[in-house]
Amino acid sequence: MGLYRTSAIGMCGWLLGASAAMALTPPAGIEIDGSWLGKLTLSGGADGYAFVQSGTSQSSFNGNNVTGTRLANALISLQKTSGLIQFNMAIGANTGAIPLGTAPVQASVTTLATGPLYYGYLTIAPPGSRVTFSAGQLISLEGFEAGTDWYNSNLFTSELFYTQSSMFRGAEASYRGKKFNATIAWGDGYETGVFNTIQAVATYQLPHGQSISAYYAGPLGRVGLNAKTYAVTGHYGDPASFATVGTYGPYYANSQMFGAYYTWTNGTLSLTPEIQYQYAKADAKLVQPGWAAMSKFSSNLGVALFADYPIPNTPYEIGAMAEYFTSNGPDSWFIAPGAQGAGFAVTPSWQHKNLFIRASAGYLHLLNGSYAGDGQTGAFGNAAHGRDVVQGLLEAGILF
């Protein structure tokens, strides 16, 4: 909610392979002689988009702007991937990828507690060992989709992505084998400053370029209402600009999440189905006056199918996504309590070396849920009573 997960530029290792939703091919990066630091790699990118959408109004879930332009990303990454001590860091502005049906957001450096530092961590990689250890501002292990749009085959992301966490502070241990890779992390989940959350992901490489992955995330104890989470206004250095767990939605940081995805490939075509289940138990200490949230058990189920087809011997590629989601209970996981809906998006892409242009069209239909809270199903248009939204994006960018 509010912040969408960021993913590393030029991410190396098993994590990128496990989440190969990429529609664009970043260049190798710029190699730098770091003297006593060793070989460093500098990479990055910037992109922006124009949008058009239906179903807008002052009360609509997708905002009041029919058309507009936004800076999507402006990020620079520096990494050292050899030797006993390694590091990976990125600075810049990022909106996070756009979940279908939500309002387009301007890129910002004020969303995370670390400001323009989007991720930054040290890694200990003992020579000859398959196990590495990392600590710092880390990238969420949840889900198939990435938070930097050029790592996804679609410009629009799914409802599954919307409920996942973004960056977190903590430590992780990773194992990389020939066919099996796994990472387990301990940190502060939705960047709450409460260090009680476990994240884990495991990937098994199957024959013929196929793979299956499973992931988990959840706290071992309660994350209180007054804990801070992602910034919503103002300056990242001002604690008053950050949402609290209570205002952000206490069910997110206090939820248990389970998910899995399978990637099938045939030639250049890849298909990835994903399923994700998330729930929060009732907790009287997290119920706020006038709010029903956390007063009863609630859950959210999302399923999605992602497709990516690079057209052989051309600079063109086509991505597609279809999704279905449903929730129950008093908590507003996406749009509204009890929301249920389905949608799809198609994204053709063109890339020539460092330059790329992409267009995307998406449609979302709400089957249940009242964003206005008046009992009438809907989230878009006047009085938020419309069930349908159509959105289009035209994006251009550069990678280096």
Model pLDDT for residues 44-101, shown as the tens digit of each residue: 999 999 999 999 999 999 999 999 999 999 999 999 999 999 999 999 998 778 999 9
User: Could you tell me if residue 187 is inside a domain?
Assistant: yes
Structure tokens at 259: 């998910």
Per the structure, the complete domain to which residue 298 belongs is given by 14-399
User: Could you tell me if residue 8 is inside a domain?
Assistant: no
Query: Distance between CA 230 and CA 236 in Å, rounded?
Result: 9
Read off the amino acid at residue 247. T
CATH of the domain at 202: 2.40.160.10
Query: Distance between CA 220 and CA 140 in Å, rounded?
Result: 17
Phi, psi angle pair for 105, to nearest 5°? -120, 140
Query: Distance between CA 70 and CA 107 in Å, rounded?
Result: 7
197-254 per-position pLDDT tens digit: 999 999 999 999 899 999 999 999 999 999 988 765 444 555 565 789 999 999 999 9
Tell me the residue length of the chain. 400
Question: What is the model's pLDDT at position 241?
Answer: 59
72-111 burial, b for 16+ CB within 10 Å, e for fewer? bbbbbbbbbbeeeebbbbbbbbbbbbbbbbbbbbebbbbb
User: Could you tell me if residue 287 is inside a domain?
Assistant: yes
pTM, two decimals, is: 0.92
CB of 131 closer than 8 Å to CB of 23 = no
* DSSP per position, 34-88: -GGG-EEEEEEEEEEEEEEESS--TT-TT-S-SEEEEEEEEEEEEEE-SSSEEEE
Question: What is the model's pLDDT at position 23?
Answer: 66
User: Could you tell me if residue 7 is inside a domain?
Assistant: no
| Percent of all residues in the chain with a pLDDT value above 70, rounded to a whole number | 91
User: Could you tell me if residue 9 is inside a domain?
Assistant: no
User: Could you tell me if residue 132 is inside a domain?
Assistant: yes
Q: Mapping DSSP to helix (H, G, I), strand (E, B) and coil, where does residue 137 land? A: strand
Query: Distance between CA 21 and CA 27 in Å, rounded?
Result: 16
Question: What is the model's pLDDT at position 273?
Answer: 99
Tell me how many domains the chain contains.
1
Q: Mapping DSSP to helix (H, G, I), strand (E, B) and coil, where does residue 386 land? A: strand
User: Could you tell me if residue 351 is inside a domain?
Assistant: yes
User: Could you tell me if residue 381 is inside a domain?
Assistant: yes
Residues of the chain under the 70 pLDDT cut? 1-23, 231-241
